[in-house]
Structure 1
Amino acid sequence: MTGPHATHRGTRRSRARSAATAALVVLAAMVPAAVATADAQQVDTALPYACAFPSGRQQATVRVSASLPDRVEPREAIRPTRVTTTVELPAAAAVDLGVPKGGEVSAATRLTVAVAQNKATAEATWRGTVQPVTVPESGPLTLTATGDVPSVTARSTGDLTLSAGDLEIDLAVSAPDGSAAATGTPTAAATGPAPTTVRCTLDKDAPGNGLLATVPVGSVTSGPGGSPSASPTGTGPGTPSASSSASGRPQPHPGSPQSGRAPKIAGTAPGSTTDRSGVPPCRYDAQHPSDEMSLNSYITGYANVRKQKGASLIPVSCALIEQGQPDFQFPPDGNGPAVITQHSEGQLSYQGRAQTAPFKATFLTFGFVPATATMVLEQTAPLTIDSLGHMDTSTYYTTMDTYIRVPLVLRVTSLTVNGTPLDVGSSCRTRTSLSSADPEPAKHPEDHLVLHGKGEYALGEQATGYILLSGGPLTGETTIPAFTGCGAGGEDLDGLLTAAVSGPGNYIKQIQGQTCGLAAPVEGQCTKDLQPAQIPVPER
């Protein structure tokens, strides 16, 4: 009689240990660790580019700086830190953009970085954002972009190189009063057509073909004739080791069984910044008390208005989240993936109200009449976050699908048409919540917006895509209902707004930032007063 009980007891203990281990592995993978680079090489490389402006191609100088590991082991992530991309555009560029005197330019950059090791190659995108810069009266226009970039993991030994490639710059121009310039380029306060995008290509005679850095992977490699290759310690930035060719292309290592395996890019992570200017507070208070599972994060992005063939910027807003405990279900026979489910709830928070920060959008109504509206999205019931994941119990490789459901009413607080203010009153809003097709309509029959995120992570590597704790991109499509209560003094504006805005097929892309976990705040993820340290950058 003691045998079966002992076996059963052992099985339960084994399952408990497996569940605990799995939970720790999953949670550790979901929260990016703070990066500490002990032995680092500093990259600071200036490269010549040619950029295509409306009037023609113009030369520009692009300086890339970053801190990278001096050496890593196979499957150890290479995480570039302190990444800065500085673009120096000629004075003629400001004229080309139609920047008025005293105007400002804000920008977002996307630098393609080629990653190569042995015969294998991959590509990463280094994104950055530029805070508004006043255009100088004379001289070049300098834009300095900063942001987090994806890590790279080499799967075999041998020198890994990173080289700069094409560069895209989204430019937004604003007049001195903060309004959109005559070019129609949007600002954070008034969003119409997509920002002007300038595409730049690396000059053919760029030094080292754009080589930024070489990171040796594994033990000291052998150069020609079997002699050890030089360590990059003490060499200049971008200097290839002896096992690389003069062009910066790494040479295959004879006998390496994995020489053809491409380096793994940890996803093109959405950009973020730590600049808090103009960002609303995001913290728990007496009205919203926190507990050990409380998280807070920022979210921002774009929402298309299909009828206007334009997009509205949803400004950086705060979300307070009560994270649910993840539940692990292991297969009875030990074969197959473990299933992970998690249910969390949350709410938007702006000045004590469950809503986004106010935002403006400018469109050409009916194709020719300019109209500017100030709006907010008001949450009318709890926001729910449901995650479903599958984990390989032997490798802990996990994929996760997350659906965020939130009932949101669009409220209009002011409206100007063709320069004339129209009084919309205090009750102008959509009749019902924005609505999306739900993957489980029987379970969630009410009107609500649905956003979907998909993420994955492997043991020892950074999460990619969307994970609740680390954030990422969320997308969806919604129908904007008809408007009601719009107008004052007997003027009915319901029909005008309904005809101009309401309808189906409006694509939404929101970026959630890294969360701050209040129970165990992590430096780089939380400020000293327990607000999210990272501010996400909107993406189209």
Structure 2
Amino acid sequence: MRKARSLLAAGLACLVLPFAAPTAEASTPIDKRLSFTCPFPLIGLQKLDVEVKASFEVPSAPGGTFTTTDLSVAVTVPDKSTRGLALVGAASIEGTASAGVTLANGALTLPLALPLTVAKTAVPPSGEFTTQAAGSVPPVRLPNAGKTTVAIGDFSTRLTPKKADGSFTGLGSFTSDCTLDPGQDPVLLSFDLGSTQTSYEYGVTGTTTLKALGATAPVTGSLAVPAAGTAFDGTRAEFKVLGFVPGTADLRFGPDGPQTGELTGDGFVVHANLALVVPQVTLFGLPVADAGCRASTPIPVDLRTGRGFALASGGPVSGEYTIPPLTGCGAFTAYLSSLVQGPGNAFALTLTAR
């Protein structure tokens, strides 16, 4: 069995990428944050922020057992709900919950209702507060090879607010059936059970933000991991100097030396060194840089896949970088360097599997 404590979040690059495979015991904690809408007595519908944590043991082959441990759910109760509870004299709240989870393993789709105990929690007179719920999950045998996912759905709570002396409030015990707000990725875990696939190809789209210039440029390209990939395509940033002088800068990012990285669950992180060439810069439409204009040193950047990334389909990737002084730009080298160099630049990319 290989251990994986959440397989959400990781990295990428458009370069030659020798990757280190995860060890059999590699583990990463799940920390999934979602929002739900829940009805409450007296105050109606409320939006709650929910954090789900768990640890998974994933079988190495079909027929093995999938186990979940350390399942916990933290719910942030908003100020309006706090005031409503305080209004009826609640000093604490406790209860039970049932979280809806769907396990999909090839042709098998298994809905699960996971019982949770909501720990007794003090209710402040106002402001947010957080309740903690925990529970155990029975092991599940996974019979099929292929993509396997664990996704969270709606949940239901049965809550009992109590006064400081332990007696019930006028609300008694109430049930709140909460629904997952739309537009979120509900997948807690995604992996290929028994998969022999070892390489992946992606198309790349997105942007790079150049902080000093106050500009954003589109980024396109392609990527193959862990085999050789391609550099980003050339792009152009449009900017204004002093807020009114129009300018453009052509940008070409490419690999500079060997790249390294690690697979991290269903994604990866890439440690890249980039060469930046700026073959043309214009101000007022006039060229002001020689064709040999470039960054004076390689640019290190760690590119990481983000929440919702999956090796089989792709997803978000990001990374920050610092632009060093420019060189080879001709008579305006020092001035052009002052326009572009500095930290806080960023890639915000999306990979699409091919």
The structure whose residues are more often strand, as a share, is 2
If the length of structure 2 is used for normalisation, what is the TM-score? Answer: 0.50
Higher helix share goes to which structure? 1
